Structure 1
Amino acid sequence: MSRILYSLTGEDESRPFSPHCWKAVMALHHKGLEFEEKLLPFTEIPTVEGGVTKIVPLLRDEDTLVSDSFQIALYLEETYPFAPSLFGGEGGKAMARFVEGYSQTTIHPAVTAIALMDIHNMLDPVDQVYFRKSREALLGKPLEEAFPDRDASIAAFTDKLRPLRHMLRSQPFIGGASPLFADYIVFGALQWLRVATGSVHLPADDPALDWFERCLDLFHGVGRSVG
């Protein structure tokens, strides 16, 4: 197959967990494009495609290489304009940038506080060494000491989704009546949490959970097939 998406995995390849890779997976399905997903551990990413990137997702589409989930979405939108739109116009691109900022500055830190050790434990021994060294350099302390009160982090998580919950009073998806790339940005963050820990840690009656369940069911349940 000429279209390949390089994605991140831990020791168990049946549980890809990267939020950014999930954005790209959902974007490709949204466009109705066939692709092969090649799963890589952290330490093997620099060995593919001539070492063009140290991070994934990385998309090869024929002779074109595109890295970064948002850049992949923009590329797909431009290259396949007759497939369903990921943005619904320039305003949708701008909205998605805002949602990306919200997700990465609010949701991602909250997920990290809950799932840091779960993610570490998903990795093979070589990747555990890499993960520990790189994350401890960022956090300035041992992984085990970075977020000592996991229960408190879980209790605080529901509040991080207040903007999503507020929006769901008016429409079923961030994109409106149907999902757009902005939905896949937030979905990727919650899927990261779900795959790493086994739960998104939201109350059963939470509208944000209902939205996430709808996203899991998209594209014949591609998100639900991993857990």
Structure 2
Amino acid sequence: MTIVLYELVGADEKRPFSPHVWKTVMSLAHKGLPWRSAPTRFIEVPQIEGGVSKTIPVIRDGDKIVADSFAIALYLEETYPDRPSLFRGKGGEAMARFIERWSQTQLHPFLGSAALMDIYEMQDGANKPYFRESREKRYGKSLEAVSADRDAHLDAFRKRLEPLRDMLNYQPFIGGQTPFYPDYIVFSAFQWVRVSSPYAFLADNDPLWDWVNRCLDLHEGVARKTPTAA
């Protein structure tokens, strides 16, 4: 049976941009599970599966509905144990929890604020007012003001990535010789801005590009099929 994945999109249904959805895309591909996309815009999220969640991703697998990217990964691991493991045991699951919090606290704040106007421009006419109102309430300032000082914080963000760069000197993936869920957590943060913003979050000569490209090539290039923002 084909799994249905509700993906966050803007005006272009072929450009899913949520980092949390991309974690699930990579997880499904890692498991080799068939799935189909249900493109969903911000104001449509409350209607998903009878209002099961205020956020996406959400999957439907037969009669089972699961929300939240980490919960989905755990569900896939438990339900399809014969497929390649996302965690490689409880230790990997615990590590993934740490990596998720590191990504959410150290990467997402800068990435999200720096790409904010670009993400706004991706929305269709019906969703732009919702996006502006909700994000300006969250940040306490205009969208334009949030993104205005991104250049001033870029250097600090790039330096924050040094532990990841250093670790990748020893192995091609966070998971070692092959990727697992922690790779998808961090990669999806970069995929988020790759498909939504042309801003140069990484320098052209940053060695992290090697890892990003390895991730883009995984699972028959499922992530690379969504083009880089122009």
Equivalent residue runs for 1:106-145 within 5 Å: 106-145=106-145
Task: Decide which moves more: 68-77 or 129-138.
Answer: 129-138
Offset from partner CA, 1:2-28 (integer Å, 9 cap, x none): 410111001011211100000000000
> In structure 1, what residue type is equivalent to 2:157?
F
1:207 Cα deviation from its structure 2 partner: 2.2
| One-letter amino acid of the counterpart of residue 57, structure 2 | P
Range with bigger deviation, 48-57 or 211-220: 48-57
CA distance in 1, matches of 2:156, 2:220: 32
Tell me whether 39-48 or 21-30 shows the greater mean CA deviation. Answer: 39-48
Q: Give the match for residue 43 of structure 1.
A: 43
Amino acid at match of 1:224: R
CA contact (8 A) 2:114 2:146 kept: no
AA aligned to 1:57 is P
* Number of residue pairs the alignment of both structures matches: 227
Which whole-Å CA distance do the structure 1 matches of 2:12 and 2:147 have between them? 25
Letter in 1 for 2:221: G
For residues 202 and 133 of structure 1, the distance between their equivalents in structure 2, rounded to whole angstroms, comes to 29
User: Which whole-Å CA distance do the structure 2 matches of 1:199 and 1:221 have between them?
Assistant: 22
1:177-210: CA deviation from partner (whole Å, max 9, x where unpaired)? 1000000000110000101113653223322111
- Asked whether the 8 Å contact 1:114–1:153 carries over to 2, the reply is no
Query: What SS class does the counterpart of residue 175 from structure 1 fall into?
Result: coil
> How is 1:139-154 mapped onto 2 (pairs within 5 angstroms)?
139-154=139-154
Residues 2 and 61, structure 1, Cα contact 8 Å, conserved in 2? yes
| Contact 1:115 1:196 (C-alpha < 8 Å) held by counterparts | yes
In structure 2, the residue matched to 1:101 is 101
- For 1:102 and 1:64, locate their aligned partners in 2 and report how far apart those are by CA, in whole Å: 30
Residue 115 of structure 2 contacts residue 147 of structure 2 at CA under 8 Å; is this kept in 1? no
Mapped partners of 2:84, 2:60: distance in 1? 20
Residue of structure 2 equivalent to 1:182: 182
Letter in 2 for 1:185: I
Match of 1:164 in 2: 164
Distance, in Å, in 1 between the alignment partners of 2:10 and 2:154 is: 23
Cα 1:200/1:79, change in 2 over 3 Å: farther
- Match for 2:77: what amino acid? E
| One-letter identity of the residue aligned with 1:215 | C
> SS of 2:126's equivalent?
helix
Alignment of 1:24-103 (within 5 A): 24-103=24-103
Letter in 1 for 2:179: P
SS of the residue aligned with 2:37? Answer: strand
Q: Secondary structure of the residue that 1:7 maps to in structure 2? A: strand
**Structure 1 residue identity aligned to 2:175:** G
**Other-structure match for 1:173:** 173
Structure 1 distance, partners of 2:10, 2:212, is 23
Root-mean-square deviation (CA), in Å? 1.3
Report what 1:198 is aligned to: 198
1-10 vs 172-181, which moves further:
1-10
Identity over the aligned pairs, expressed in percent?
A: 55
TM-score normalized with structure 2 length: 0.94
> Which residue type is aligned with residue 117 of structure 2?
M
**Are the aligned partners of 1:4 and 1:36 in contact in 2 as well (CA < 8 Å)?**
yes
Amino acid at match of 1:106: Q
Per the TM alignment, residue 161 of structure 1 is displaced from its structure 2 partner at its CA by 1.4
Per-residue CA deviation, residues 66-88 of structure 1 (Å, 9 max, x unaligned), is 00000000000000001000001
Distance change >3 Å, CA 174–CA 94, structure 1 → 2: same
